[in-house]
Chains A and B, each alone.
Chain A
């Protein structure tokens, strides 16, 4: 008995098989639209056909809303999507995620692919971008020699610096071969080394018009340039590969000129400002030092140098006065003591005693203090003269038994 399986099982099996297929999970498909139905739900149903076959497609509202054009029968389109099986009906369809008109679509695809390739090669890395010189002596401009772009660049440049130096390398900016002219111009400037910065510019246009700036040769030339490059291609909202590889992207050619050409009035003002600041800084430094110096000069040490001397003089005077005073006191003191002693002496003077009637008995200048000392004649000294005395009788008031012999 052969094993049988159900319809559902078959459909499910197919769905899984296809879902697991790498290629069918994400691809770009091109074909012509037919049987186009824009359902009221917002979902789109159509078939894509080529010369010999067709395939059913569905695009749901969320993705369909993003389409930038109006799809209709007969239009050649490029779609991105995956295959899935609608199990209920046993049909497979393309589930469309993105839809582009074919001609442009091809370009867009090429753009995305190149962008991815160059990102991997590091062409867009921030670290390798060169700084734009602030005061370039000479500026290179690669653009069409006719039209508004070169006029705008020159106007802005000369307005900012009347003495600007610009070297123009004229190129075709669209069409076949333009990319080679642009790349060669970049390489030529690098060879001549006659400019310090390059502006690559072109005005607005369609993706086809701007296409030369998305070519790999231009990307290579910019990447290999040692001279910094400012890219100003298309309108503010246009982004080309050239913009990404360049060292700086300007939204418009005029903006590029503003970035690259320093405003001479501003430069001049800044220089003047520096000079003023220099002068002011030095002046205030000198003032500062002057003030410090004045503080020292005005110190009393210099203004009244004799103050110290006067002070010492005054001290000396005071000391002298003290000395004199001390001396007087000392002398007076001694004088007093002396006169005290003298009057005391005076009162003790034997002459005073003599005045009172006393006399001094002397024997050969030796003073006789006792009758026992009398051996014969002796001298008697009175206040006004001497008397030679011969004693008649001596009476001793002491011991009665002691005899005194003359």
Chain B
């Protein structure tokens, strides 16, 4: 589960919601899917929080690439 990208997680979540809304599943299955869905949405939230703003410019210094902070004029 932790290895999933945001995109993959959201796609799985969408699938689960569709399945649950369709309603043709047993109560046990519903509970299981609900749990999975909540796990996925928590994971997505976490991924969103983890991102920090980072705008850098790559400078070629003697063949090596260096990253520096960038401010647009």
Contact = CB atoms under 8 A, between A and B. Distances in A.
Contact of A135 (B6, B13, B38, B58): B6
Interface of A: 133-135, 137, 145-146, 150-151, 154-155, 158, 161-170, 188, 192, 264, 267-268, 270-271, 274-275, 277-278, 281-282, 284-286, 288-289
A274 B27 CA distance: 20
B41 A274 contact: yes
Interface string B8-47: 0010011011001101000100110010011001001100
B48 A188 contact: no
Contacts of B56: 166-168
Interface residues of B, number: 35
Question: Closest 4 interchain pairs by CB?
Answer: A281-B20, A135-B6, A163-B51, A168-B57
B25 to A, nearest CB: 8
B17 A274 contact: yes
B72 interface: yes
A285 to B, nearest CB: 5
A146 B41 contact: no
Most interface-central of A133, A155, A158, A285 (chain B CB within 10 A): A285
Contact of B54 (A145, A166, A170, A270): A166
B7 A133 contact: yes
24 contacts: A135-B6, A135-B10, A137-B51, A145-B57, A151-B72, A158-B55, A162-B53, A164-B51, A164-B53, A164-B55, A167-B56, A168-B56, A168-B57, A170-B57, A170-B58, A170-B59, A274-B13, A274-B14, A277-B20, A278-B16, A278-B20, A278-B34, A285-B23, A285-B27
Nearest to A262: B6
B62 interface: no
Nearest to B13: A274
Nearest to A264: B48
A146 B21 contact: no
A275 B37 CA distance: 8
A78 to B, nearest CB: 39
Nearest to B70: A168
Contact of B7 (A135, A146, A154, A164): A135
A271 B65 CA distance: 37
Contacts of B30: 281-282, 285
A275 B36 CA distance: 11
A167 B65 CA distance: 12
Contacts of B21: 277, 281
Given A151-B73, A166-B54, A188 B20 contact: no
A271 B13 CA distance: 9
Contacts of A164: 51, 53-55
Nearest to A148: B72
